[in-house]
Amino acid sequence: MIVVTGASGHLGRLVVQGLLEKVPAGQIVAAVRSPEKAADLAERGVTVREADYNEPETLTSALDGADKVLLVSGTEFGKRVRQHQAVVEAAQKAGVGHLVYTSAPKADTSKLILAPEHKATEEIIRFSGLTYTLLRNGWYNENYQPTIEQAVRMGGFIGSAGDGRVSSAARADYAAAAVTVLTGEGHENKIYELSGDVAWTYADFAAEIGKVAGKEIAYTDLSPEQHKATLTEAGLPEETVNFVVALDANIKEGELAGTSDELHALIGRATTPIATTIAEIVTEI
């Protein structure tokens, strides 16, 4: 039995859909915080169980009988280490044979603002004694949907990433890699550094949006101080402002620029270019 946590979220749902193409629905469990949000998966024969990262007792029952578990990292920054540890402990109690975790690029050495919680989770997993696979997912193309929409409306966007590059891929690419690991063999106790095949700059990004939108799209590169001030003046919460500016600093320093062929190899095809995702988003605006 394969259990996918966070199965009603963007990534988890794609993984379940991918698994349905490889294994019988009766062998899949969608572990979700709100079961009603996974009613469509239940209709396809997938077992749906409640699993709230903040309520350990639900995790124990959700993982009961699991052979393999995909731990999709949580979204509550600052709380994720405790939440992930609860899942790992539930996996230990359930005697799970293989735990797969969605981590971050070079989590143990990266300066990426998101890395510390992933590094701590990886350490918990390693010390748990469980057989594991660490999927160090790079940036998702879809993370830039709000920026793309804003750029089309306003004719441009701002940032402070300079000429830093982002080796992103589509969320579906990362989901496909997880399906490969969950349904294949030889992935035990391995770490995969997953990224898109091509790294791009914000200037490249603006040019691609312009091609699809049919108009000039400008990227205005600011200093971190200017970037922070502009976002603050726009009314964004301080926490969000600090995160966005810190992330752009990470990009400028090359923390998201690294490319490898490991995602390409796992999914057996080229990764989805940012231009493809841009076209999909602009078409729907």
> Which CATH number does the domain housing residue 46 bear?
3.40.50.720
Asked, for residue 206, whether it belongs to a domain, the answer is: yes
Residue 73 and residue 123 in one domain: yes
Asked, for residue 61, whether it belongs to a domain, the answer is: yes
Asked, for residue 81, whether it belongs to a domain, the answer is: yes
Q: What integer pLDDT is reported at residue 285 of this predicted model? A: 82
Residue 8 and residue 127 in one domain: yes
268 has a pLDDT exceeding 90: yes
| Partner residues linked to 191 by β-bridges | 134
Residues 226-236 have pLDDT tens digits of: 999 999 999 99
Q: Whole-model pTM?
A: 0.96
Residue 160 and residue 122 in one domain: no
The two tokens of residue 56 are 């350990």
- Distance from C-alpha of 28 to C-alpha of 249, rounded to nearest angstrom: 40
Residue 108 and residue 151 in one domain: no
Residue 12 and residue 124 in one domain: yes
Q: Is residue 148 a contact partner of residue 209, using CB atoms and an 8 Å limit?
A: yes
- Distance from C-alpha of 39 to C-alpha of 218, rounded to nearest angstrom: 43
Residues 74-127 have pLDDT tens digits of: 989 889 999 999 999 999 999 999 999 999 999 999 999 999 999 999 999 999
Q: How many domains does the chain have?
A: 2
284 has a pLDDT exceeding 90: no
Q: Is residue 102 a contact partner of residue 71, using CB atoms and an 8 Å limit?
A: yes
Q: What integer pLDDT is reported at residue 262 of this predicted model? A: 98
CATH label of the domain that carries residue 253: 3.90.25.10
Residue 256 binned pLDDT confidence (cut-offs 50, 70, 90): very high
- Distance from C-alpha of 48 to C-alpha of 37, rounded to nearest angstrom: 10
Q: What integer pLDDT is reported at residue 5 of this predicted model? A: 98
Residue 60 and residue 160 in one domain: no
Residue 150 and residue 278 in one domain: yes
Asked, for residue 94, whether it belongs to a domain, the answer is: yes
Residue 27 and residue 123 in one domain: yes
Cα–Cα distance list, 15 to 1, 4, 148, 150, 256 (Å): 14, 8, 25, 29, 23
Residue 149 and residue 122 in one domain: no
Residue 112 and residue 154 in one domain: no
Q: What integer pLDDT is reported at residue 179 of this predicted model? A: 98
Residues 46-83 have pLDDT tens digits of: 999 999 999 999 999 999 999 999 999 998 988 999 99
Asked, for residue 176, whether it belongs to a domain, the answer is: no
* Residue span of the structural domain in which 26 resides: 2-137
Residue 106 and residue 30 in one domain: yes
Q: What percent of the chain has pLDDT over 90?
A: 98
Asked, for residue 181, whether it belongs to a domain, the answer is: no
Arithmetic mean of pLDDT, 128-133? 98
Residue 229 and residue 251 in one domain: yes
Asked, for residue 182, whether it belongs to a domain, the answer is: no
DSSP letter for 234, please: T
Q: Is residue 161 a contact partner of residue 263, using CB atoms and an 8 Å limit?
A: no
Asked, for residue 266, whether it belongs to a domain, the answer is: no
